[in-house]
Structure 1
Amino acid sequence: MKHLAAYLLLSLGGKAAPTAKDVKTVLESVGIEADDERLSTLISELKGKDLQELIAEGSTKLASVPSGGAGGAAPAAGGAAAAGGAAEEKEEEKKEEEKEESDEDMGFGLFD
């Protein structure tokens, strides 16, 4: 992915057909060592192809992949638990306040 990301950055920067050397330069500038085998495969696969068309084609393929499901249930349950926890905290605060008030006079008043 890092090789592809560097390639795409170079393309966005105006380089029509980035070379392996260009991609290596970008990766090395951020402290990443390029894998020559993967890089050569990437360059050969993308050689002579229009990136905009490839991205559009990939987007249509991804649209057919299901991405929904039961994933929404977990956050909802977490939200309910958080709400319940907040109610418990309020009750504890009230109990503590009552306890503090009763402890203030220690059974007698200053001016009794």
Structure 2
Amino acid sequence: MKHLAAYLLLVAGGNTTPSSDDIKKVLSSVGVEVDESRVSSLIKAMEGKNVAEVIAEGSSKLATVPAGGAAVAGGVAAGGAAAGGDAPAEEEKAEEKEESDDDMGFGLFD
């Protein structure tokens, strides 16, 4: 990841095709150890490609990955309703309990 970050910093700085020496120089300037194999594989992977296009391609691939948050919440709601249909009443009790912290021994302006 650090090698990619150095590559992207170089591109953002105006170097559209950073070399392995450029990446090594950036990483060594901040005291990071350089992994030669990762640098060479990064250079090979980016050869002949535009960074903006690669990022756009990755973003479109990322958009197809399910986030999982909605499915988990839906599963909990469905499970609560199937268990007896008292899920809203139980949620209200939980909310009341959370709200009644009784200032925990101190007030806001004490």
**Highest Rg: 1 or 2?**
1
Query: 2:5 is aligned with what amino acid?
Result: A
Show the counterpart of 2:26: 26
CA 1:91 to 1:5, structure 2 compared with 1: closer, same or farther past 3 Å? Answer: closer
Provide the C-alpha distance between the structure 2 equivalents of 1:91 and 1:9, rounded to a whole number of angstroms. Answer: 48
Moved over 3 A (4+): 88-93
CA 1:49 to 1:90, structure 2 compared with 1: closer, same or farther past 3 Å? Answer: closer
Show the counterpart of 2:53: 53
CA 1:7 to 1:87, structure 2 compared with 1: closer, same or farther past 3 Å? Answer: same
Provide the C-alpha distance between the structure 2 equivalents of 1:8 and 1:66, rounded to a whole number of angstroms. Answer: 27
In the TM superposition, 1:64-75 aligns within 5 A as 64-69=64-69, 70=72
Aligned to 2:34, what secondary structure does the other structure show? coil
Provide the C-alpha distance between the structure 2 equivalents of 1:27 and 1:49, rounded to a whole number of angstroms. Answer: 22
Give the CA deviation at 1:90. Answer: 3.5
2:100 is the counterpart of 1:87: yes
Aligned to 2:49, what secondary structure does the other structure show? coil
Q: Deviations over 1:58-84 (max 9, x none)?
A: 11000000013237x8xxx9xx68x63
Give TM-score, length-normalised by structure 2. 0.66
Aligned sequence identity (%): 49
Which stretches in structure 1 are left out of the alignment for 5+ residues? 94-112
Give the CA deviation at 1:88. Answer: 4.0
Give the CA deviation at 1:91. Answer: 7.3
Which stretches in structure 2 are left out of the alignment for 5+ residues? 77-90
CA 1:92 to 1:49, structure 2 compared with 1: closer, same or farther past 3 Å? Answer: closer
